[in-house]
Amino acid sequence: MVSLLVASTPCESQDERPGRIEVISGADLQTVLAVYNGSEAGDEFGAAAGSDTLPGGSPAPERDWLVGAPGAQTSSGRVWAVRARDGQRLFSVDGDLLGGELERFGHQVAALGHVDGRQFTDWAIAAPASVDSEAAPTVVALTDVGGALGEAYRLEGPPGSLFGWRVINLFEDLDGDGNFEFLVTSPRESNGNKSAAGALRIFSSKTGRRLYTVRGEEAGDNLGYSVGPVRDQDGDGARDLLVGAPGDGSKDRPGHVVILSSRNGAVLGRLNAPAKALHFGFALRLILADLDGDGREDWIVGAPGYRKARGAAYAISSSSLEPLQRIRGRRKNQQLGVGFKGLAVNRDLDGDGLNEVNVNSLLAKPKQPLKDQLGRTAIYSLGARSVLQSRDGKESFDRLGDGGTGSAADFDGDGSFDPLLAIPARPLAYVPAQ
């Protein structure tokens, strides 16, 4: 059995160092234009990143970054406001200063929009603690208070549930108040006596009122470990949701993905794990490419436990819900399919009419020790079914592709936006069984 899901708490490392953000040329997706480092060893700067308008930041239409550093030891976690065009730090919000027993504040960062028309963007910041912590995992909503960010409200989940593991803007107004709602997952939450069944909840961004809850059905489902919006599946005019439940790595619970209505949480469909695809649903996303010619964009789902943790990623038809392609890892413990964040999202680089996709692995090099966790993010052509280029982590625990990603400003003046790649340099406490 492959065991990947244990905790969100970093392991101790003898070579702890700050996380960093690299700004990459949008022209070649290789040249590093700038590097911005975290402020202290082990801070995991770059664990999450969001871009939008910030107090004291760039004038519209430019957007700046809010960057999570949940491992900051001088506080219970921190978020930094960073100006996109030059990397200048504008201010920080420390978990300690907000009060309460927050742990790992900055694990997730979600821009909620200009709630009630305020000048600056509101944000949801997750502090999910860890599975063995007695602290209540928390999501804090930060709002514009006279040109600064202050707390609007906070939401709490059961201790050990990892409430706040994933936080995303739903981009749908479900309660008619003129503001988008947001989603929070807690993959280790119990459903009655079924431990780690998982759950997700939808909240009003204006008031924090819970609109509905969806729970995992079986112990060890880990529902909500991954989540992403997809195009309208049920014809009600609203985006819907893919939600991963990657299981516990056993043959009885290899993982699955559910398709949910964003309006009420109704189950619209289910993707079961293909043969040997353990931890199916560990990562997923809309790929903005129509592979089967049905006029609908398709999806990609990771199964890093496939065949002794070589890992695999499956392109799935959004119409038939059947696999269209399989991308496989080539060596034991490579764990291909741990994520799909990277540099080439929504771009057709090889001119085949299909946007490429990033496919990430835990291991980068053939003889790299598992414990090094350098990480690799590869740009994969779905048309040619081949890797166009790849980028490897440089130091132990880089876990390249594990941090936040997004668009920066045009750093080099070539007319294209240059993407950022965050490298939080965080060893995590889950490792595959040998």
**pLDDT mean across residues, the chain:** 87
User: Over the stretch 370-419, which tens digit does the pLDDT of each residue have?
Assistant: 667 778 888 999 999 999 988 888 887 787 777 777 666 678 888 777 88
Is residue 124 over pLDDT 90? yes
If you average pLDDT over residues 226-254, what whole number do you get? 92
Which residues on adjacent β-strands are paired with residue 89? 82
H or E element that contains 303: strand 299-303
pLDDT at 394: 82
pLDDT tens-digit series, residues 284-296: 999 888 999 999 9
d(CA 239, CA 216): 21
pLDDT at 117 over 70: yes
Q: Cα torsion for 93, 340, 233, 254, to the nearest 10°?
A: -110
Q: Give the DSSP per-residue string, 32-81.
A: EEEEEE-SSTT--TTSEEEEE--TT-PPTT--EEEEEETT-TTTTBEEEE
Q: What is the pLDDT of residues 64-100, one digit of tens each?
A: 889 999 998 777 999 999 988 788 899 999 999 898 8
**Which residues, 6+ apart, have CB-to-CB distance to 421 below 8 Å?**
21, 22, 23, 24, 342, 343, 377, 391, 400, 403, 405
